[in-house]
């Protein structure tokens, strides 16, 4: 199962493409905060930097042995919604997929490894070939 959180639509696009490739269902995760506009952008950075959590809602049931969690990177950290998700779902069953303009998944993985026992971390940024990364991720999921 693929669970994604998105502010701008990038994570949704990747989740849908991964779902098409793997056949896994993709469900959207939302939270209780309005992230739109410039104020939302600033609030997102503040929440991410201070480690705040949000109240999340996942559309559908989480009935899967493993979850692919797709989230943007805000201010060098995973989103408050992703943090809330990991607080309530066994992180050892989660493959975290990050989407960022510049932050590389490997950089983030070091800090997350101390906090969560994740199944793995995979990342998208503007320097990667999105088609290739989706293909690699789908292959990795077949081995899990």
pLDDT digits (tens, 9 = 90+) for 84-107: 999 988 888 999 998 887 666 676
For the whole model, what pTM was predicted?
A: 0.89
Range of the domain at 26: 2-143
**H helices within 26-95, ranges in order?**
37-50, 80-88
Q: Is the CA virtual torsion 46, 50, 56, 59 positive or negative?
A: positive
Confidence (pLDDT) at 104: 66
Is there a contact between 31 and 56 (Cβ–Cβ < 8 Å)? Answer: yes
d(CA 74, CA 33): 15
User: Is the distance from CB of 85 to CB of 57 less than 8 angstroms?
Assistant: no
Pairing of strands 120-124, 94-99: parallel
Query: pLDDT tens across 46-65, in order?
Result: 999 999 999 999 987 777 88
Q: Please tell me the total count of domains within the chain.
A: 1
The residue whose two tokens read 């994570």 is: 11
* Spatial separation of the C-alpha atoms in residues 45 and 32, rounded to whole Å: 16
């Amino acid at each position: 199962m693929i669970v994604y959180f998105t502010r701008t639509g990038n994570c949704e696009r990747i989740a849908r493409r991964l779902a098409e490739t793997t056949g896994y269902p993709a469900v959207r995760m939302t939270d209780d905060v309005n992230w739109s506009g410039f104020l939302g952008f600033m609030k997102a950075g503040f929440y991410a930097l201070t480690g705040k959590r949000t109240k999340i809602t996942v559309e559908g049931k989480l009935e899967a042995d493993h979850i692919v969690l797709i989230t943007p990177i805000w201010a060098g950290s995973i989103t408050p919604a992703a943090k809330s998700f990991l607080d309530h779902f066994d992180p050892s069953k989660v493959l975290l997929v990050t989407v960022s303009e510049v932050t590389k998944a490997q950089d983030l993985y070091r800090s997350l490894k101390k906090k969560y026992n994740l199944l793995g971390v995979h990342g998208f940024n503007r320097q990667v070939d999105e088609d290739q990364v989706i293909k690699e991720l789908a292959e990795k999921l077949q081995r899990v």
